[in-house]
């Protein structure tokens, strides 16, 4: 069904904030300075796992200009139980007797001059008793080295309650999905294939590093913070302080990127504790280098096994997915569940077993990062798909078609595929790649190849968004939402939705940025949920306003359908330019909690995120050098509410995933990060762009539950991109790379190994 | 002289920090500009305060630099220093800018007989890049500029600071070495001139003594020579090279009369590979000769694993790119390219 196109929907409005951004007028937390404000600088642990025997802050405190040096002992005086976290209350505001990763905050120096604070860090002395560390996720599953003594699930996630008090394990969560009889199906299969794939630890790298300011006075806290989830921050900080929600105010201006990193609590608990201690505003702004110690993306080891019939029907699949969550759970358990949920891929398989584990290690914590686990799992299942087709001598595309999950068929969890254009997305990629035309495979040391991949993701559920539309006395409109515009263009798209319903020019609507005293609840700007959830809430709020305007017209005795402007209606009603029309709307999707033992549910996701990708690559087999000649991303976005914004999302997410595929890698030695700066941790630059880079959405797709048929699209191109490149590389050189990132050296090593002349292990 | 390398420091590295406030030095007001004091730095800047002095004569500069304190240093373009300062690796007490020292520290001068260049230490990369004389006589330098940093950095980075920094990953030092250039060094004791490769003593280590500054570089124009620089990167295309390879040769028909082969980045300082040169000198290029040259090269350098590649892989890259660089030499004239892996 085609989208209903009105005056605002489906048009490429320029971002409402573009002018402010390019002229340097846009507001960011980094710009904010409050009177009497102190700066905090963080002293970090140098060891990945150790007991703290002594923290000596005396010399630092004595340095002229230092206001105070704070440790966990000071924090405990104002917050008796100083542990936080969205899934587990496992993270201390500052290290509490123990450090669990190299880079963990141990103490904070406060000073009016941040250079003095920085200077004083060098005077802090900590004595440690070093403990053995565990860094690899697979080792941590069975290691006797324990990162935490006991699991401490948070009350906010009732489905984790059974984990409370569990001891002697690094496994924070084990997600299970069972469908059919996998063992029997394997026994009956003609062929069984098993492969293990790995994805590396990477970082979000927002250009605006983390920054938060807390201002506690008169029993009331105001937080100015670069956060993707102001409502969550308020709830969690109120819990820590034992205050009602209305005593905590969280304000968020624009963000310079978030990508999932700025969710839940990051610096907020720390600056809050500091401000409560000193009764002054306190600001902490991380450096680019410190971001590596805040939150990162889960490394993942995924062993995938499939049973297949002679003619290429997949009858059984077993997924063993181990997520390296680092030292603190953050939202890792949810990544483990959601990533696990779709880890069997967009295929129609009768018998599926999935085990997905969140594992603690002594690495920097891992949390949500664009794709929420889907990129790591798709890397495995789509490379696996090609390997099976190759081994069986079946065409890779036909093999996918034969097993593809189609509209209405139940996915592994039992949730049917609905409004998900997997096959059309694949076909569009094939068309743009000119798959039917033969490929010039190169000569001599140059080899070319091409590959495709498809993937999908489930969306965190159930989550709530609330919106307010406020029509003022002159008929102009303010939209009050908790969605954070962090570069994705949400202000513009939400204004389009409101404008469409209210029949006003979206560029005239003012979008009020998150301020929990003013804007209503929203679960967070995360997991491609805003367009769908907040979009529905905004639409409902605008509908509500519209019906209130109609009611006012009726009250004033106007005939049905009269076109007297709102300003005039309000003037007639109140005798002057006065009054408001306030429309409210909220949205929570239809959801059914999965069975804890089998993971089965008929409503496991509000919508399906769908992406397909194709790549054509060239490899210099003498050195392993990889050139991406063509990269194609196609996503099912439902209705493209703003086609330009959609294309930018697809392109941006694709470039980010390209970095996670070929250049980015946090390298550790003995638990110490060895490349924690942008000189040594390489994000792709313009020079690394594919020669030809195409991003498109599937035309005329429509999600019946979305606002005007739309679904979220912030992550669609993060899913299938890595395996498309991996499969293209394999097509070029005849060897499958199993571990990300795919580098010149890893390609050369794979080639040499296949030639029987392996390079020495590094 | 040893400079703290800007490698990654462990979190919260404890290092003694020096806290300097502005001291007004009694050099005549007209000859000395105090550019930045603590007030300026209070504007939200993360750097501790220090003094930045701008003497107008070499004599003044020597006097200001006359200190055993390693926190007193000359300041060229500041691009390397500022990075180290922001990373808290280097905490200056006094920086002596060479910006206003006229004459010998500035300018690109081609001798009347066109036999050599005399280039001032404060010459910026951008000046090199856009100089028609350099383009005509040392095209490999012009081309190297395009593989290097970005416009903003090239506009301020100086060739003196580039040499004095001692970072083995820098692209120009191997090129100067292949071109047989010499560095001019001055101190209050006088001037000395040494071949570029003798400037480097090790990883971020130079043979400059305290109080010495580089005043310029002398580069011979060798009309019959042709040069090539390959910046081999292995991760993102714009990255520090895994290896830098500068080759300069003089041909007699197809035969190599003379050749200089210099390796950087994979080793602790730009190093001539004399064994490889010996194999190539007098030879006509074919795969067997190149293979022997690579064997010789691998025998004379020590390559260690780092973030840009394992030792084994980089050795392999040296073999491949040495061959490619020499092959690229004769017919096409000078070249500098970013070679991914
Ligand atoms: C973003 C960025 C990208 C870069 N990319 C590249 C690249 O791709 N390739 C590359 O080769 N380089 C690159 N560089 C490094 C750059 O080449 C060096 O930083 C620059 O050459 C240093 O020159 P400067 O004049 O700025 O030195 P400064 O920072 O002023 O000084 C460096 C050192 O030399 C000393 N010094 C300065 N002048 C003299 C002198 N005349 N005599 C004695 N000592 C002196 C200083 O005391 C200091 O120790 C990059 C740098 C940046 C910031």
Taking only the tens place, the pLDDT of each residue in B188-241 is 999 999 999 999 999 999 999 989 999 999 999 998 899 999 999 999 999 999
Chain B CB contacts of A679 below 8 Å: 6, 240
Q: Are A267 and A245 in contact (CB under 8 A)?
A: no
Nearest CA among A382, A396, A402 for reference residue A342: A382
Chain B CB contacts of A59 below 8 Å: none
Domain segments of chain A: what residues? 18-27+463-587, 32-133+205-293, 296-411+418-460+596-754
Sign of the CA dihedral running B314, B320, B323, B324:
negative
- Domain match, B284 and B257 both: yes
B10, part of any domain: no
pLDDT at A3 over 90: no
- Domain match, B336 and B239 both: yes
pLDDT at B76 over 70: yes
C-alpha span between A274 and B329 (Å, rounded): 64
Q: Which CATH number is A18-27+463-587's, of 2.40.50.100, 3.20.20.70, 3.40.640.10, 3.30.365.10? A: 3.30.365.10
Chain B CB contacts of A760 below 8 Å: 310, 312
CB proximity list for A283: less than 8 A, separation 6 or greater: A32, A33, A34, A37, A38, A39, A40, A211, A212, A213, A271
Percent of chain A scored above 70 by pLDDT? 99
Q: Are A582 and A469 in contact (CB under 8 A)?
A: yes
B55, part of any domain: yes
Size of interface A-B (CB pairs under 8 A): 110
A179-195 mean pLDDT? 98
Q: At residue B162, what are phi and psi to the nearest 5 degrees?
A: -60, -40
Question: How many domains does chain B fold into?
Answer: 3
- Domain match, B63 and B141 both: no
Q: Are B325 and B245 in contact (CB under 8 A)?
A: yes
Q: pLDDT by residue (tens digit) across A300-332? A: 999 999 999 999 999 999 999 999 999 999 999
Q: Are A626 and A619 in contact (CB under 8 A)?
A: yes
CB contact under 8 A, A115 and B11: no
Q: How many CB atoms lie within 10 A of CB A183?
A: 13
Q: How many CB atoms lie within 10 A of CB A202?
A: 26
A193-221 mean pLDDT? 97
C-alpha span between A759 and A757 (Å, rounded): 7
Which two structure tokens, joined as six digits, stand for B281?
């000198």
Pairing between β-strand A220-225 and β-strand A248-251 as defined by DSSP bridges: parallel
Rg (CA), chain A: 27
C-alpha span between B339 and A438 (Å, rounded): 29
Beta carbon of B81 within 6 Å of any ligand 1 atom: yes
B169, part of any domain: yes
Q: Among B192, B220, B248, which residue terminates a domain?
A: B220
Q: Find the domain containing B49 and state its range.
A: 18-97
CB proximity list for A288: less than 8 A, separation 6 or greater: A209, A677, A678
* Domain A296-411+418-460+596-754, architecture per CATH: 2-Layer Sandwich (3.30)
Assess whether the region A32-133+205-293 and the region A296-411+418-460+596-754 belong to the same CATH fold: no
Beta carbon of B119 within 6 Å of any ligand 1 atom: no
pLDDT at B45 over 80: no
Q: How many CB atoms lie within 10 A of CB A176?
A: 16
pLDDT at B22 over 50: no
Q: pLDDT by residue (tens digit) across A127-175? A: 999 999 999 999 999 999 999 999 999 987 778 888 999 999 999 999 9
Beta carbon of B230 within 6 Å of any ligand 1 atom: no
Q: Are B93 and B71 in contact (CB under 8 A)?
A: yes
- The count of residues in chain A is 762
Q: What pLDDT is attached to residue A16?
A: 96
- Domain match, B285 and B239 both: yes
Q: pLDDT by residue (tens digit) across A713-753? A: 999 999 999 999 999 999 999 999 999 999 999 999 999 99
pLDDT at B314 over 90: yes
Nearest to A46 among B10, B16, B316 (CB): B10
CATH top class, domain A32-133+205-293: alpha beta
- Domain match, B179 and B275 both: no
Beta carbon of B165 within 6 Å of any ligand 1 atom: yes
First to last CA, chain B: 32
Q: Which of the four pLDDT bands, split at 50, 70 and 90, describes residue B8?
A: very low
Distance from CA of A450 to the nearest CA of B (A): 20
**B148 C-alpha vs ligand 1 centroid, how far in Å?**
12
Closest protein CA for atom 4 of ligand 1: B149
Name the residue in chain A with its Cα closest to that of B83.
A679
First to last CA, chain A: 56
Q: Are A470 and A480 in contact (CB under 8 A)?
A: yes
Q: How many CB atoms lie within 10 A of CB A68?
A: 18
C-alpha span between B208 and B198 (Å, rounded): 10
- Domain match, B336 and B229 both: yes
Q: Which of the four pLDDT bands, split at 50, 70 and 90, describes residue B18?
A: very low
Beta carbon of B285 within 6 Å of any ligand 1 atom: no
C-alpha span between A386 and A409 (Å, rounded): 23
Host H or E run for residue B243: strand B243-252
Chain B CB contacts of A685 below 8 Å: 236-238
CB contact under 8 A, B234 and A627: no
Q: pLDDT by residue (tens digit) across B118-164? A: 999 999 999 999 999 999 999 999 999 999 999 999 999 999 999 99
Beta carbon of B167 within 6 Å of any ligand 1 atom: no
**B81 C-alpha vs ligand 1 centroid, how far in Å?**
7
Q: pLDDT by residue (tens digit) across A534-561? A: 999 999 999 999 999 999 999 999 998 8
B314: domain CATH number? 3.30.390.50
Threshold 0.90, pTM exceeds = yes
Strands (DSSP E) found in A295-398: 296-297, 300-308, 314-324, 351-359, 366-367
Closest protein CA for atom 28 of ligand 1: B78
C-alpha span between A527 and A537 (Å, rounded): 17
A414-433 mean pLDDT? 98
CB proximity list for B82: less than 8 A, separation 6 or greater: none
Q: Which of the four pLDDT bands, split at 50, 70 and 90, describes residue A244?
A: very high
Q: What pLDDT is attached to residue B104?
A: 83
Which two structure tokens, joined as six digits, stand for A715?
């992550």
Angle at B270 between CA B269 and CA B274, to 5 degrees: 120
Chain A CB contacts of B10 below 8 Å: 46, 102, 672
Helix, strand, or coil (residue A426)? helix
Q: Among B64, B97, B130, which residue terminates a domain?
A: B97
B176: domain CATH number? 3.30.465.10
CA A547 to chain centre: 36
pLDDT at A44 over 50: yes
Nearest to B46 among A114, A687, A748 (CB): A114
Strands (DSSP E) found in A427-567: 446-457, 465-471, 477-480, 510-512
CB contact under 8 A, B11 and A103: yes
Nearest CA among B89, B117, B120, B93 for reference residue B104: B120
Q: Among B196, B220, B244, which residue terminates a domain?
A: B220
C-alpha span between A426 and A613 (Å, rounded): 7
Nearest to B307 among A627, A674, A748 (CB): A674
Which two structure tokens, joined as six digits, stand for A166?
């569990």
Percent of chain A scored above 90 by pLDDT? 97
Beta carbon of B162 within 6 Å of any ligand 1 atom: yes
């Amino acid at each position: 069904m085609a989208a209903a196109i009105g005056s605002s929907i489906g048009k490429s409005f320029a971002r409402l904030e573009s002018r402010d951004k390019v002229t340097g007028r846009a507001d960011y937390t980094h710009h904010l300075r409050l009177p009497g404000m102190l700066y905090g600088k963080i002293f970090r642990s140098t060891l990945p796992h150790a007991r703290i025997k002594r923290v000596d802050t005396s010399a630092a405190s004595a340095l002229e200009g230092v206001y105070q040096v704070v440790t966990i002992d000071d924090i405990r005086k104002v917050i008796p139980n100083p542990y936080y976290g969205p899934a587990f209350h496992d993270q201390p505001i500052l290290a509490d007797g123990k450090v669990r990763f190299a880079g963990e905050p141990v103490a904070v120096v406060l000073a009016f001059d941040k250079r003095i604070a920085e200077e004083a860090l060098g005077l802090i002395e900590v004595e440690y008793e070093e403990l053995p560390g565990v860094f690899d996720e697979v080792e941590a599953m069975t290691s006797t080295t324990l990162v935490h003594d006991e699991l401490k699930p948070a009350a906010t996630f009732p489905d984790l309650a059974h984990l409370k008090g569990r001891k002697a394990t690094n496994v924070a969560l084990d997600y299970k999905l069972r469908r059919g009889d996998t063992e029997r199906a394997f026994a009956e299969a003609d062929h069984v294939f098993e492969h293990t794939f790995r994805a590396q630890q990477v970082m979000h790298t927002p250009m605006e590093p983390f920054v938060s300011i807390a201002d506690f006075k008169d029993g009331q806290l105001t937080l100015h913070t670069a956060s993707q989830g102001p409502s969550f921050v308020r709830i969690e900080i109120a819990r820590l302080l034992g205050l009602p929600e209305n005593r905590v105010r969280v304000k968020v201006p624009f963000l310079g990127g978030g990508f999932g990193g700025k969710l839940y609590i990051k610096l907020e608990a720390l600056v809050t504790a500091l401000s409560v201690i000193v009764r002054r505003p306190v600001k902490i702004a991380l450096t680019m280098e410190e971001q590596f110690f805040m939150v990162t993306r889960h490394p993942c080891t995924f062993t995938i096994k499939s049973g297949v019939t002679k003619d290429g029907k997949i009858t059984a699949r077993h997924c063993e997915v181990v997520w390296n969550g680092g030292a603190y759970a953050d939202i890792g358990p949810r990544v483990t569940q959601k990533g696990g949920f779709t880890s069997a891929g967009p295929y129609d398989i009768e018998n599926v077993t999935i085990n997905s584990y969140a594992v603690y290690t002594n690495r920097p914590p891992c949390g949500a990062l664009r794709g929420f686990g889907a990129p790591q799992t798709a890397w495995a299942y789509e490379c696996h798909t090609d390997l099976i087709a190759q081994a069986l001598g079946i065409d890779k595309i036909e093999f996918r078609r034969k097993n593809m999950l189609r509209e209405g068929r139940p996915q592994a969890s039992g949730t049917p595929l609905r409004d998900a254009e997997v096959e059309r997305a694949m076909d569009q990629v094939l068309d743009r790649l000119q798959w039917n035309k033969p490929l010039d495979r190169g000569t001599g040391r140059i080899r070319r190849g091409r590959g495709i991949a498809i993937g999908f993701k489930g969306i965190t559920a159930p989550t709530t968004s609330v919106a307010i539309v406020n029509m003022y006395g002159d008929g102009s409109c303010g939209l009050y939402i908790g969605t954070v515009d962090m570069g994705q263009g949400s202000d513009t798209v939400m204004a389009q939705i409101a404008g469409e319903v209210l029949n006003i020019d979206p560029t005239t609507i003012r979008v009020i940025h998150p301020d929990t005293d003013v804007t209503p609840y929203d679960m967070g700007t995360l997991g491609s949920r805003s367009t769908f959830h907040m979009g529905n809430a905004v639409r409902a709020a605008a509908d509500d306003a519209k019906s209130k305007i109609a009611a006012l017209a009726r009250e004033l005795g106007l005939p049905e359908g009269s076109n007297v402007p709102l300003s005039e209606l309000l003037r007639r009603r109140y005798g002057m330019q006065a009054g408001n029309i306030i429309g409210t709307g909220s949205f929570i999707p239809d959801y059914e909690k999965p069975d804890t033992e089998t993971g089965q549910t008929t409503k496991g996701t509000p919508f399906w995120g769908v992406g397909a990708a194709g790549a054509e690559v060239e490899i210099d087999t003498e050195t392993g050098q990889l050139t991406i000649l063509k990269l194609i991303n196609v996503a099912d976005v439902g209705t493209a509410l703003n086609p330009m914004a959609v294309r930018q999302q697809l392109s941006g997410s694709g470039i980010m995933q390209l970095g996670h595929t070929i250049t980015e890698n946090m390298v550790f030695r003995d638990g110490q990060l060895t490349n924690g700066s942008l000189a040594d941790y390489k994000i792709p630059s313009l020079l690394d762009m594919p020669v030809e880079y195409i991003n498109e959405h599937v035309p005329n797709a429509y999600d019946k539950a979305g606002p005007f048929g739309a679904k979220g699209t912030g992550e669609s191109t993060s899913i299938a991109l890595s395996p498309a490149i991996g499969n293209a590389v394999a097509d070029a050189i005849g060897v499958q790379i199993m571990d990300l990132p795919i580098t010149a050296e890893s390609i050369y090593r794979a080639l040499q190994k296949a030639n029987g002349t392996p390079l020495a292990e590094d | 002289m040893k400079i703290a390398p800007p490698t990654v420091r462990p979190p919260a590295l404890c290092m003694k920090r020096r806290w300097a406030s502005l001291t007004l030095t009694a050099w005549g007001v007209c000859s000395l500009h105090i550019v930045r004091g603590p007030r300026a730095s209070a504007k939200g800047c993360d750097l501790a305060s220090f003094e930045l002095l701008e003497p107008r004569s070499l004599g003044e500069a020597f006097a200001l630099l006359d200190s055993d304190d390693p926190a007193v240093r000359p300041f060229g373009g500041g691009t390397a220093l500022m990075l180290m300062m922001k990373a808290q690796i280097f905490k200056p007490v006094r920086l002596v800018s060479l910006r206003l020292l006229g004459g010998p520290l500035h300018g690109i001068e081609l001798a009347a007989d066109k036999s050599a260049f005399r280039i001032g230490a404060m010459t910026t990369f951008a000046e090199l890049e856009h100089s028609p004389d350099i383009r005509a006589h040392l095209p490999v330098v012009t081309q190297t500029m395009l593989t290097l940093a970005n416009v903003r950095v090239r506009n301020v980075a100086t060739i003196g600071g580039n040499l004095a920094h001692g970072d083995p990953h820098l692209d120009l030092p191997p090129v100067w070495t292949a071109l047989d250039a010499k560095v001019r060094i001055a101190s209050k004791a006088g001037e000395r001139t040494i071949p570029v490769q003798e400037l480097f003593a090790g990883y971020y280590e130079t043979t400059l003594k305290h109080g010495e500054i580089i005043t310029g570089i002398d580069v011979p124009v060798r009309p019959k020579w042709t040069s090539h620089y390959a910046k081999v990167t292995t991760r993102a295309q714009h990255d520090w090279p895994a290896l830098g390879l500068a080759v300069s040769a003089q041909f007699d028909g197809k035969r190599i009369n003379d050749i200089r082969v210099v390796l950087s980045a994979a080793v602790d300082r730009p190093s001539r590979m004399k064994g490889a040169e010996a194999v190539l000198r007098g030879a006509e290029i074919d795969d067997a000769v190149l293979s022997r040259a690579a064997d010789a090269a691998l025998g004379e350098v020590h390559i260690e694993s780092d973030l840009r590649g394992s030792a084994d892989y980089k050795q392999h890259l040296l073999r491949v790119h040495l061959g490619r660089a020499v092959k690229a030499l004769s017919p096409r004239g000078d070249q500098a390219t970013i070679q991914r892996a």
